[in-house]
Chains A and B, each alone.
Chain A
Amino acid sequence: MDQDLVTALYIVAFILFIVGLRMLRGPRTAVQGNQVAAVGMLIAVVATLGQKGVGDWGLIVLGLAIGTAIGVPSARAVKMTAMPQMVALFNGVGGGAVALIAFVEFREAGGDLPLDELIPILFAAIIGSISFWGSNVAFAKLQELTKARPRIPSLVNLGLLAIACGLAVAVAAGTESQAVFAAILLASALLGLLAVFPIGGADMPVVISTLNAFTGLSAAAAGIALDNVALIVAGMLVGASGSILTKQMADAMNRSLGNVFFGNFGAAAAAGPGAADDGDRTVRSTSAADVAIQLSYAERVVIVPGYGMAVAQAQRAVADLATELGKRGIDVSYAIHPVAGRMPGHMNVLLAEADVPYDRLKEMEEANAEFARTDVSLVIGANDVTNPAARTVSDSPIYGMPILDVDKSSSIIVLKRSMSSGFAGIDNPLFYDEKTALLFGDAKASVSDVLSEVQAL
């Protein structure tokens, strides 16, 4: 294929990427938007395969076949609740691919590359490697393969970053050793591992989004090194959009990125406020039957879902309960905090899966305007996003984070597995509020119990 034709096809692919992304902004066009982008990708791949000098077809087919054989079934089989870790994993392998390509490109040239190729390659190697290992840790944590949250001094991470950058400068200055390049990959890998390891579940959305942007940036850098405009454009589109998304999420939690990655969130809180005055506070626990009565006599009920709902896979039971209450003329809506769950929009996806109508989901500002007029707030497995300490306790780690003002409603029912604190490890005064009643147990079982009690009334 002529190089001009390849570039022309790339341009078609860019148009499809941009149009596709644009269509992803609206719920009605989103499905097609994704398909449009996928067609763009297909065109870009076909154009590349037609490019002069592309060869080793056996190996290319082998790689494509392995990737398809792994990617398709896992994408088909993954449960909606496990979506965040799947996205983390897909993101990670993308970063891994960039790091590998950068290494091979360096090795092929024997390290003897012009600076305008070498610098992007080093950048791609560092960021790609961080993204790969960081994403894998994020996956392991979300999959609950490990619950460890070691405290790693920021100095260690900064040190690793300094080592990676220092070695990169050495390579750029003329060191042609592959061992040095491998050491850069290793230092970046350690940095990715150690930077993500201490981060608690509540911050995972920000982490995954950051790593998503990282992989995009590393792809763009690889594009500069390989003189491939498709990599530059597509990589940078993702780098930019991922950064915007990350910023929106961090803003929603009123935290800076530095705070997320170097803040040792939660660790300080354990010894902080609340720990001392725990003794004389009591919680009021309730039964499914009582909850059912309370809900049935309410006029307006707001459901506040959180990660607990996802873990218990309770979304269908919750939707059934809402439908049942709706039949009785009760106004039921859902209040969705921007960072509820482990990904932005996590709750929306789960509730959509359970066929909850779109217009029942209220975003934070809209929901907060209504809590004062709400009879019962039903908090299902949400904790930190409802914690009034964010408004009142100035030395709390989450002070200043916008929360759902659940405590303003007339009464509150909290469904909880146990009295443990949230992922951020912070005590929640909401539970000790006299308007609050707690229903302990698995969220799905509790909601089902409440539903059958409501039906029996």
Chain B
Amino acid sequence: MDLLTELAILVLAAFVGFEVISKVPNTLHTPLMSGTNAIHGIVLLGGLLVIGPAEGLLEDILLVIAIAFGTINVVGGFLVTDRMLAMFKGKKKQPQRAAE
């Protein structure tokens, strides 16, 4: 893919990012940060792509670390977000009236 096409995609993705995220209630800022954090674990793909062609022990070690890092980022990120969000779920079913 040529550079200009990639830059076009980059710019459009930036605007989608702005649009999708603005106006999130404060309440969800932490889960949202955690969720976007998990998504940038996509760098994992970079490790997967580079490790095949890479030669040499040092390269292999560094890339295994990179893949492990990316996996931690993805798996940990989504799990933590899920745990946080699960606490928000079902709050509607628990009426405040009981306490009032």
A307 located at the interface, meaning its Cβ lies under 8 Å from any Cβ of chain B in the complex: no
Interface secondary structure of A, over-half rule: helix
Given contacts A224-B6, A232-B13, contact A54 B48 (CB under 8 A): yes
Which residues from chain A contact B50 at a C-beta distance below 8 Å? 101, 104-105, 108, 226
Interface segment, one of A340-348, A368-376, A432-440: A340-348
Which residues from chain A contact B46 at a C-beta distance below 8 Å? 97-98, 101, 219, 222-223, 226, 228, 231
Contact at B87–A353, with CB atoms within 8 Å?
Answer: yes
Residue from B15, B26, B80 in contact with A87 in the complex, judged by beta carbons closer than 8 Å: B80
Instruction: Determine how close the nearest CB of chain B comes to the CB of A328; give it in whole angstroms.
Output: 10
Given contacts A34-B85, A70-B72, A348-B26, contact A24 B49 (CB under 8 A): no
Contact at A327–B80, with CB atoms within 8 Å?
Answer: no
Instruction: Determine how close the nearest CB of chain B comes to the CB of A59; give it in whole angstroms.
Output: 5
Q: How far is the CA of A359 from the CA of B96 in the complex (A)?
A: 8
Q: How far is the CA of A256 from the CA of B48 in the complex (A)?
A: 38
Instruction: Determine how close the nearest CB of chain A comes to the CB of B75; give it in whole angstroms.
Output: 4
Interface string of A80-122 (1 = CB under 8 A from B): 1001101100110110111011011101100000001000000
Residue from A54, A90, A222 in contact with B77 in the complex, judged by beta carbons closer than 8 Å: A90
Contact at B1–A212, with CB atoms within 8 Å?
Answer: no
Which residues from chain A contact B21 at a C-beta distance below 8 Å? 21, 25, 240-241, 244-245
Which residues from chain A contact B38 at a C-beta distance below 8 Å? 34, 37-38, 41, 90
Interface string of A207-246 (1 = CB under 8 A from B): 0110010011011101110111111111111111110110
Instruction: Determine how close the nearest CB of chain B comes to the CB of A318; give it in whole angstroms.
Output: 13
A279 located at the interface, meaning its Cβ lies under 8 Å from any Cβ of chain B in the complex: no
Contact at A34–B31, with CB atoms within 8 Å?
Answer: yes
Which residues from chain B contact A97 at a C-beta distance below 8 Å? 43-44, 46-47, 65-67, 69-70, 73
Q: How far is the CA of A352 from the CA of B27 in the complex (A)?
A: 10
Closest to A87 in B: B34
Instruction: Determine how close the nearest CB of chain A comes to the CB of B43; give it in whole angstroms.
Output: 5
Residue from A54, A66, A237, A361 in contact with B20 in the complex, judged by beta carbons closer than 8 Å: A237
Contact at A31–B33, with CB atoms within 8 Å?
Answer: no
Contact at B68–A66, with CB atoms within 8 Å?
Answer: yes
Q: How far is the CA of A102 from the CA of B5 in the complex (A)?
A: 21
Chain A residues touching B, range: 35 or more
Residue from B9, B16, B86, B99 in contact with A327 in the complex, judged by beta carbons closer than 8 Å: B99
Contact at A30–B75, with CB atoms within 8 Å?
Answer: no
Which residues from chain A contact B55 at a C-beta distance below 8 Å? 108
Residue from A78, A103, A353 in contact with B62 in the complex, judged by beta carbons closer than 8 Å: A103
Which residues from chain A contact B63 at a C-beta distance below 8 Å? 59, 63, 100-101, 104
Per the 8 Å Cβ criterion, residues 23-40 of B in contact with A are 23-40
Contact at A68–B75, with CB atoms within 8 Å?
Answer: yes
A-B contact pairs, 11 of them (CB 8 A): A35-B82, A55-B51, A94-B70, A100-B65, A219-B46, A223-B46, A236-B14, A344-B33, A348-B26, A357-B94, A358-B27
Known A-B contacts: A34-B81, A38-B78, A96-B65. Give 17 more (CB < 8 A). Answer: A25-B24, A30-B31, A63-B68, A67-B71, A75-B83, A97-B47, A100-B47, A100-B65, A101-B63, A215-B43, A219-B43, A236-B10, A237-B20, A238-B36, A241-B32, A245-B32, A327-B99
- Residues of A that sit less than 8 Å from B by CB: 17-18, 20-22, 24-28, 30-31, 33-35, 37-38, 41, 44-45, 48-49, 51, 53-56, 59-60, 62-64, 66-68, 70-72, 74-76, 78, 80, 83-84, 86-87, 90-91, 93-94, 96-98, 100-101, 103-105, 107-108, 116, 208-209, 212, 215-216, 218-220, 222-224, 226-242, 244-245, 248-249, 322-323, 326-327, 329, 336, 338, 343-346, 348-349, 352-353, 355, 357-361, 363
